[in-house]
Structure 1
Amino acid sequence: MNVTPTGRTAFRPMAICCALFFILGFITWANGTLIPFLKIACNLETDLQAILVTFASYIAYFFLALPSSWILKKIGFQNGLVVSLLILGLGSLIFIPAADSKSYALFLTGIFIQGSGMALLQTAVNPYLSIIGPIDSAAQRISIAGFFNKSAGILVPIIFGTLFLKDAEKVTAKLEATVDIVEKNAILDKLITRVHTPYIALAVIFVLFAIFLKFTKLPPVDVDAEEEVDESADKTTVHKQKTSVFQFPHLFLGALAIFFCVAVEVMAGDIIGIYGRELNVDRFFVTYATAFTLACMLVGYIVGIIAIPKYVSQQFALRVCTLAGILFTSLSVFTTGTTSFIFVALLGIANSLMWPAIFPLGIKGLGRFTKTGSAIMIMGIAGGAIWPLIYGYLKDSLNIDFQHAFLYAMVPAYLYILFFAVKGHKAGK
């Protein structure tokens, strides 16, 4: 492992990982702003249609995670990072013709391509971050990187919210009052071209950072050489008999935990804008809704950086977070107005330490199967694609009250994560 003699993580790879997590956060949480913006700009009829933004982004992980593992084996970790950034740049550029043609399908294509780039990036950077230092402090390192990830997520709704949604109420009112098709199209044309400058800028940044990474020396970590550890033994034991990734049940239980972890993250971070609009809270809260959730996640990350593993274990932090998630969800459903909105935002604290704890627990002890196991874990990110659609279906198609639909979607997810925290991570050990 690339660890200093004192057991500390090397600074350079940690700094690179933090920068990459910032990029991941910026693109991922842009969806929170794109959902209400594209609903207006592409003249969509329902929230369920608009939520396809998150579906297009997160479903890419399901299809591209395992191929990403194969790509990384062929071209190497560092070249994989470079390629992932170039793919992100390509996805960003597709927004330009999508805006010019007002094509929602083309927007979704660009978002899917961005998701493909992020799948490759996540498959590479997460196991690297987990093993560049002691495995028991992996949650601490992921929390530090997550701090940068969610900092980007806070900036996105502030920047994009100002650029895209600064006069959303006036535009919506004007569209509703306009009968003439030509005039309505002119309003939409002017609105949708707002994506040009920011997404061209993003494409340029991704390409420049890819060039920087290409010529930056990163110390290698051979994950295939890592030992497989038996937690049930008093001493570390090297297992020679494991011949298949399917012999690690805790991995697949962990992937499902990641599925539900990302599901509740997206529900609290992206769907909060729709939730706030249904609550009729002030437009300020709706415009910057995602930023409130991510600010709460930053608080949770700070706690994780300080407490793990010095004061609490990864497993204990995960249990506390799931119980807090159930509590805040229940309180959001049985309150109204701004109070209910605040409890949804507080889910950011509950969700903050879930990924940092679940991922290292899921890949722990995989040895030469770490790359494949990481890809399987990354496939779980598809939870962010599926769960918002389930919420939209409950709310729009089954006509269930939006708060009760939120409860039905969130609580089962938290209960499974609690199971993984208590028992699932020990399976097969």
Structure 2
Amino acid sequence: MPAVASTRAASGAAGPGTNYRSALTLLASLFFMWGFITVINGTLLPHLRSVFELSYFQASLIESVWFIAYFFASIPSAKLIERIGYQKSLVTGLLIMAVGALGMVLAASLPSYGVTLAMLFVIASGITLLQVAANPYVAVIGPAETSSSRLNLVQAMNSAGTMLAPLFGAYLILGRSKGGTAQSGTVLTQAERLADAQSVMLPYVLVAVVLVVLAVVIARFKLPAMGSATSRAAKEDRKNHSLWRHRNLVLGVPAIFIYLIAEIGVGNLFVNFISQPQIADLTTEQAGRYLTLLWGGMMVGRFLGSAIMQKIPAETVLAAFSIGAFIVMLVTVFSTGHVAMWALISVGLFHSIMFPTIFTLGIRGLGPLTEEGSGLLIMAIAGGALVFVQGKIADVYGLQISFLLTAVCELYVLFYALWGSKPTNAVPDEAAVQAELA
């Protein structure tokens, strides 16, 4: 699994007093970019549904392919990091994403549903490589007691990307297409569908250029060493430990898996939901602009959560946010009009801290098993692939009823916060033990 050092290794890799702020700032730009690209799918899905005349199930399958990449690419990503190192792996991940973005231009020129799926898989594989390395790095680079606060702070940049992406997509994709500016239910001609397919070419060319520039910057930046010697020593320690003895990890993996079903389901079906006549009666272009508020709420929530967790335990904050998410999802399902629309928008605020907080609670107390635990938690992002289940429910029972699945997911996060996140067989933090002895 990813070659990420323990807290002690991260602290001592480049000598006492090393300032990691510049490195964390650069990593924050990666969080921004993969958040931005992931959420472009939120505007791309209703667009492709119109171009290829897809059902909700077929449209959700596009997002499923995206998250299946997390499952298949996670272990190869970890092996690549071990072979070529942390910095070269980040550069490689960005270049893989750039290749996939340019491949989307090819898919649009054909146009081809199959090539679109393949290129989205390539982009997601590049993001997986970045995720496998960057998340545990941020979690272990400072004091263990503030890891949730630190990761929530950096993840706020991810949310900044998700907040800006809908505006980018609404203007350059939906706003430049016939399907994006027409009323819901409008049937497009073959020529109009072809023109709409080609409207994604410019946005993905711009994305590819930014990714290549960012890859060049990171290649030239001197990132702190991650303590490879300590990682080799830790391999011997791992023989005396088992991942399955740590309840917070064992239950944390399904917590992330299930949470991703909720987050991605809301993001993907948001535009279709609020554009319905009984909700807000908007065009998909107009609805795409409201998606910015959903992801903007996640950014605000992560900044707030980072500050709150300086004083209140992370698991307590997670429990409160999951209760809030459950309540607003019930309002979404059982109300109509602008009440339902704003309830769905507000769930972004409550979802904000869930991924980074579950992640840091999941690796708490793992000691020499931190690398393996981190890798399993990243693999669990593949849960987003099951968004097609909500798409199927929407086709059979209605789009609004399908959000009951989201509400059920919030209940598991609450269970994890109240009981599942409590560590068992925790390995004491070595730095803390040495401080006590001193």
Structure 1-normalised TM-score? 0.88
Structure 2: which 5+ runs fail to align?
1-8, 232-236, 426-438
Q: Deviations over 1:263-311 (max 9, x none)?
A: 22112222211221334413365222421211111221121122112x2
C-alpha contact (below 8 Å) 1:223/1:370 kept by paired residues: no
CA 1:216–1:103 in structure 2 vs 1: closer, same or farther (change >3 Å)?
same
1:261 equivalent in structure 2:
259
Instruction: Measure how far apart 1:2 and its partner are.
Output: 4.3
SS at match of 1:287: helix
CA 1:350–1:171 in structure 2 vs 1: closer, same or farther (change >3 Å)?
closer
Q: Which amino acid aligns with 1:21?
A: F
Aligned 1:241-252 pairs, distance under 5 A: 242-252=240-250
Q: Deviations over 1:388-426 (max 9, x none)?
A: 211111121xx213222211x112211111111111122
1:353 equivalent in structure 2:
353
Is residue 98 from structure 1 mapped to residue 99 from structure 2 by the alignment?
no
Aligned 1:280-429 pairs, distance under 5 A: 280-281=279-280, 282-283=282-283, 285-309=286-310, 311-386=311-386, 388-396=387-395, 399-407=396-404, 409-429=405-425
Q: Which amino acid aligns with 1:296?
A: G
Structure 1: which 5+ runs fail to align?
179-183, 227-238
Aligned 1:1-40 pairs, distance under 5 A: 1-3=9-11, 10-40=20-50
Instruction: Measure how far apart 1:170 and its partner are.
Output: 7.4
2:6 equivalent in structure 1:
none
Is residue 64 from structure 1 mapped to residue 77 from structure 2 by the alignment?
no
CA 1:135–1:9 in structure 2 vs 1: closer, same or farther (change >3 Å)?
farther
2:86 equivalent in structure 1:
77
1:276 equivalent in structure 2:
274
Match of 2:173 among 147, 164, 167: 164
Instruction: Measure how far apart 1:222 and its partner are.
Output: 3.3
Q: In 2, Cα distance between the equivalents of 1:379 and 1:170?
A: 34
Q: Deviations over 1:220-245 (max 9, x none)?
A: 2338848xxxxxxxxxxxx8763443
Aligned length in residues: 408
1:191 equivalent in structure 2:
196
RMSD of equivalent CA atoms: 2.6
Q: In 2, Cα distance between the equivalents of 1:9 and 1:331?
A: 46
Is residue 149 from structure 1 mapped to residue 158 from structure 2 by the alignment?
yes
Q: Deviations over 1:192-214 (max 9, x none)?
A: 21122221121122122112211
Instruction: Measure how far apart 1:92 and its partner are.
Output: 0.4
Is residue 220 from structure 1 mapped to residue 225 from structure 2 by the alignment?
yes
SS at match of 2:421: helix
Q: In 1, Cα distance between the equivalents of 2:190 and 2:417?
A: 52
Q: In 1, Cα distance between the equivalents of 2:322 and 2:215?
A: 37
Match of 2:215 among 198, 210, 213: 210
C-alpha contact (below 8 Å) 1:153/1:290 kept by paired residues: no
1:230 equivalent in structure 2:
none
Q: In 2, Cα distance between the equivalents of 1:141 and 1:102?
A: 43
Match of 1:45 among 38, 42, 54: 54
Q: In 2, Cα distance between the equivalents of 1:13 and 1:88?
A: 21
Worse overlay, 105-114 or 140-149: 140-149
Q: In 2, Cα distance between the equivalents of 1:300 and 1:220?
A: 32
CA 1:223–1:384 in structure 2 vs 1: closer, same or farther (change >3 Å)?
farther
Instruction: Measure how far apart 1:345 and its partner are.
Output: 0.8
Instruction: Measure how far apart 1:346 and its partner are.
Output: 0.5
Instruction: Measure how far apart 1:381 and its partner are.
Output: 0.8
Q: In 2, Cα distance between the equivalents of 1:35 and 1:133?
A: 39
CA 1:176–1:317 in structure 2 vs 1: closer, same or farther (change >3 Å)?
closer
CA 1:341–1:87 in structure 2 vs 1: closer, same or farther (change >3 Å)?
same
Instruction: Measure how far apart 1:168 and its partner are.
Output: 4.2
CA 1:103–1:169 in structure 2 vs 1: closer, same or farther (change >3 Å)?
closer
SS at match of 1:271: helix
Q: Which amino acid aligns with 1:207?
A: V
1:231 equivalent in structure 2:
none
Q: Deviations over 1:111-133 (max 9, x none)?
A: 11111111111000000010111
Worse overlay, 65-74 or 360-369: 360-369
SS at match of 2:213: helix
Instruction: Measure how far apart 1:7 and its partner are.
Output: 9.2
C-alpha contact (below 8 Å) 2:332/2:403 kept by paired residues: no
Q: In 1, Cα distance between the equivalents of 2:144 and 2:178?
A: 47
Q: Deviations over 1:159-192 (max 9, x none)?
A: 11111112545765799567xxxxx332222222
CA 1:394–1:78 in structure 2 vs 1: closer, same or farther (change >3 Å)?
same
Q: Which amino acid aligns with 2:389?
A: I
2:120 equivalent in structure 1:
111
Q: In 1, Cα distance between the equivalents of 2:415 and 2:19?
A: 31
Question: Alignment identity in percent?
Answer: 30
Q: Deviations over 1:356-384 (max 9, x none)?
A: 21111111232333222212101111121
CA 1:73–1:367 in structure 2 vs 1: closer, same or farther (change >3 Å)?
farther
1:140 equivalent in structure 2:
149
CA 1:375–1:405 in structure 2 vs 1: closer, same or farther (change >3 Å)?
same
Q: In 2, Cα distance between the equivalents of 1:285 and 1:113?
A: 30
Worse overlay, 161-170 or 98-107: 161-170
CA 1:400–1:244 in structure 2 vs 1: closer, same or farther (change >3 Å)?
same
Q: In 1, Cα distance between the equivalents of 2:16 and 2:343?
A: 42
